Copies of this chain bind each other. A is one copy, B any other.
Amino acid sequence: MASKSNYHHGDLRRVLLAAAEEELSEKGGEAFSLRRVAKRAGVSHGAPAHHFKDSRGLLTELAAVGYQRFIEAQQRRQQDAATDAESQLAASGLGYIDFASANPALFRLMFSSERPDKESPVLSKSADAAFEKLVNEVARISKTDPYCDQRAMTDVVAAWTISHGLADLLIADRLSRFSFLADMNATDRDAIFSELILRACTVRSS
C-alpha cells in the first residue's frame, strides 16, 4: 500500500526522486540531467514524464521533500540540546547548518534556485512549515506573538539570516578562510555558531 510492488516497474515515482537526489549530490545542481536520472533509475529517458510534468516538476517535488528533511535535521539537534527557549533556537540554527552541509546541492535547490516552482502547493506548504517552526521558536523567547510584535519578528529575520548566511557561506567554502574556525573541533565550532545565532536576538526572555 502506498508503495505497491510491481506495476510495470513498481513505484517508479519514488525511485526517480531517490535517483534525482543522488544525481543532485553527485553532479551538483547546475549539471543536473533528467536523462541521467532516468538511466540511474534503470528506465528510459521518456519515463519520468509520466510521473512529473517535466524536469521542473521533479525538482519541485524534490525541494518539497527537502524541507521535510530540513525540519528533521533541526529536530535532531534540538533533541540533544537543553530545553530552554534560547538553546532550542540555537539548536535549530545548527540543524539548519547541518542540513546544508550534508545536502549542499539540495539546499541550493531549495533556497537559491529558480528551477523549482515556488507557487506549487506542495512546495510552498513544506517551506511554510519550516518558517512557522522558526517563528514559534522566537515566540518562545519573546513570549509574544511575533505576528503582533515587530521587535520579535525582527528577531525572526535576524535568526534566520544568521543561520542561512552561515549555512550558505559554509557550503560555498567561504568559511575555510577562517583558520581558527576550520581547525576547530565540531563541538567548539558549534559553540561559536550558537553564540552568533543568539547575538542576533535582542528580545530575550529576561
* Chain A residues near B (Cβ < 8 Å): 28, 30-31, 108, 111-115, 118, 131, 150, 153-154, 156-158, 160-166, 168-169, 172-175, 177-178, 180-181, 192, 196, 199-200, 202
With A161-B162, A168-B168, A177-B131 known as contacts, the answer to whether A30 contacts B200 (CB < 8 A) is no
Say whether chain A's binding surface is mostly helix, strand, loop, or mixed: helix
- Indicate which residue in B114, B115, B153, B165 contacts A162 across the interface (CB closer than 8 Å): B165
Pair A165/B161 contact, Cβ less than 8 Å: yes
- 15 examples of A-B residue contacts, CB within 8 angstroms: A28-B114, A30-B30, A112-B112, A112-B168, A112-B172, A118-B173, A150-B180, A154-B196, A157-B178, A161-B161, A161-B165, A164-B169, A165-B165, A165-B168, A168-B168
Q: What would 18 more interface pairs be, CB under 8 Å, given A162-B165, A164-B168?
A: A30-B114, A154-B192, A156-B178, A157-B178, A157-B196, A158-B196, A158-B199, A160-B165, A160-B169, A160-B174, A161-B161, A161-B165, A162-B200, A164-B169, A196-B200, A199-B199, A199-B200, A199-B202
| Residue of B30, B111, B154, B196 touching A172 (CB-CB under 8 A) | B111
Task: State the number of copies, please.
Answer: 2
How many angstroms from the CA of A114 to the CA of B112 in the assembled complex? Answer: 13
Residue from B31, B158, B175 in contact with A157 in the complex, judged by beta carbons closer than 8 Å: B175
- What is the CA–CA distance of A174 and B111 in the complex, to the nearest angstrom? 9
Task: Give the residues in chain B near A30, CB-CB below 8 Å.
Answer: 30, 113-115
**Chain B residues within 8 Å of A180, by CB:** 150, 153
Leading 3 A-B pairs by shortest Cβ distance? A165-B165, A161-B165, A164-B165
Tell me the bound Cα distance from A116 to B52 in angstroms: 31
Identity of the chain B residue whose Cβ is nearest the Cβ of A110 in the assembled complex:
B172
* CA–CA, A173 and B124, complex, Å: 13
Contacts of A165 in B (CB 8 A): 160-166, 168
- Which residues of B sit under 8 angstroms from A181, Cβ to Cβ? 157
- Cα-based distance from A168 to B160 in the complex (angstroms): 11
